[in-house]
Chains A and B, each alone.
Chain A
């Protein structure tokens, strides 16, 4: 899927900024709304080229649905991660078995890779060290499978099926 048109990218940026403005001001005063709208127009004009590549098609209902489904899944993984951390930190013997492994991802979009790396950082026992092309280097606190395929299956796969839809990698 190629880049969206400039108008679509611009409008998408305006919408996102305006929603953030509504959250920041927390009021429906017409003055605040007007100011926020004008500011969104100005800032979007300055930054839409770097902010988004696909424009309004990001707001497709299917993608929003997957995003909504991703949030509880991610939060659950994060809570598990913290219980895992608690176990490792509070255990008197400090059961760790660290190492840096390499995993392969099928995602091609930069933002999808960013979200994947961030998700990996916040979920049990793993933290992304670097990204090169389609390879991610992961610091794993408890290495179970140092091979490329095994690690990919263990770390990246659960997130990828969501991210592939959310960030246009589904073709």
Chain B
């Protein structure tokens, strides 16, 4: 009881501190000038109507390359930690007929949703990362339904590497044409597309497609390693 009262008092004191600290922050004013700059120039400089996407892929495209690399390292790390000789899946109970048939029917639709999400990254919320995750869930669904299913590593690993290389290649072409890495030559020099339609925003859709494929294949690879490893742990 005493403990509980002490905890409540403690929470109240902390809450008071935080409230006091936040009360001094002026809301609604620009603290950072760079944010204002992005919002004012995003349309003519990148052609995207989704400012968040434009910042992620265009202004901060180099950082996003870093993020993709982090994911790649995570995937490689999982593979390195969980690498054993060829392991079988440990599932014992097969999915029911309804689940199996349902996942077969849903597979194309979920892949289409994923592709829709990452191709419309510059027009709607979403983009490469959620789109790739959606595509990975399609494979996870098949994994859950069929106990003997395994992905084809010979197809997925080259695809993953290829998409990583093409991201860098897009950046290098920008370096060659415009003088800095990830220069958006499609929008700034060719001026292809109209703002708000699908074909716009320079290379943002291209890079998001690359990221989508990369994230999808990488997450599928991680799922595959994790599911196969479980047999070793349980004995």
- Assess A/B contact in the complex (Cβ within 8 A): yes
Known contacts A43-B111, A130-B96, A131-B96: A114-B116 contact under CB 8 Å: no
Give the interface segment out of B2-10, B21-29, B99-107: B99-107
Decide yes or no whether B222 CB sits under 8 A from chain A: no
Could you tell me the dominant secondary structure of chain A's interface residues? Answer: helix
13 extra interface residue pairs, beta carbon distance < 8 Å, beyond A21-B116, A110-B100: A21-B112, A24-B113, A25-B120, A29-B197, A31-B198, A39-B119, A40-B112, A43-B108, A43-B115, A47-B108, A51-B108, A117-B98, A131-B98
- What separation, in Å, do the CA atoms of A111 and B107 have in the docked complex? 14
A35 near B107: Cβ-Cβ < 8 Å: no
- What separation, in Å, do the CA atoms of A44 and B111 have in the docked complex? 10
Known contacts A31-B199, A35-B198: A50-B98 contact under CB 8 Å: no
Q: Which residues of B contact A32 (CB under 8 A)?
A: 198
B97 near A47: Cβ-Cβ < 8 Å: no
A110 near B97: Cβ-Cβ < 8 Å: yes
Contact of A47 among B107, B115, B116 (CB under 8 A): B107
Report the minimum CB–CB distance from B210 to chain A (whole Å). 15
* Chain A residues bordering chain B, tally (CB within 8 A): 29
Bitwise interface map of A from 14 to 43 toward B, beta carbon under 8 Å scored 1, else 0: 001100110011000101100100011001
Q: Which residues of B contact A164 (CB under 8 A)?
A: none
A50 near B115: Cβ-Cβ < 8 Å: no
* Chain B residues bordering chain A, tally (CB within 8 A): 21
Binding site for A on B (CB under 8 A): 96-98, 100-102, 104-105, 107-109, 111-113, 115-116, 119-120, 197-199
Contact of B107 among A39, A51, A117, A118 (CB under 8 A): A51
Report the minimum CB–CB distance from B80 to chain A (whole Å). 29
Jot down 12 A-B pairs with beta carbons below 8 A, ordered by A.
A20-B109, A21-B112, A31-B199, A35-B198, A44-B108, A50-B104, A51-B104, A110-B100, A110-B101, A114-B102, A118-B98, A131-B96
Contacting residues of chain A (128-157) with chain B, CB-CB under 8 angstroms: 128, 130-132
A39 near B115: Cβ-Cβ < 8 Å: yes
- What separation, in Å, do the CA atoms of A117 and B101 have in the docked complex? 11
Q: Which residues of A contact B113 (CB under 8 A)?
A: 24
- What separation, in Å, do the CA atoms of A66 and B215 have in the docked complex? 42
- What separation, in Å, do the CA atoms of A55 and B134 have in the docked complex? 26
Closest 9 CB pairs of A and B: A31-B198, A114-B101, A47-B108, A110-B101, A131-B97, A50-B104, A31-B199, A117-B98, A43-B111
Contact of B101 among A13, A16, A113 (CB under 8 A): A113
- What separation, in Å, do the CA atoms of A143 and B191 have in the docked complex? 69
Known contacts A24-B116, A43-B115: A113-B198 contact under CB 8 Å: no
Decide yes or no whether A85 CB sits under 8 A from chain B: no
A50 near B116: Cβ-Cβ < 8 Å: no
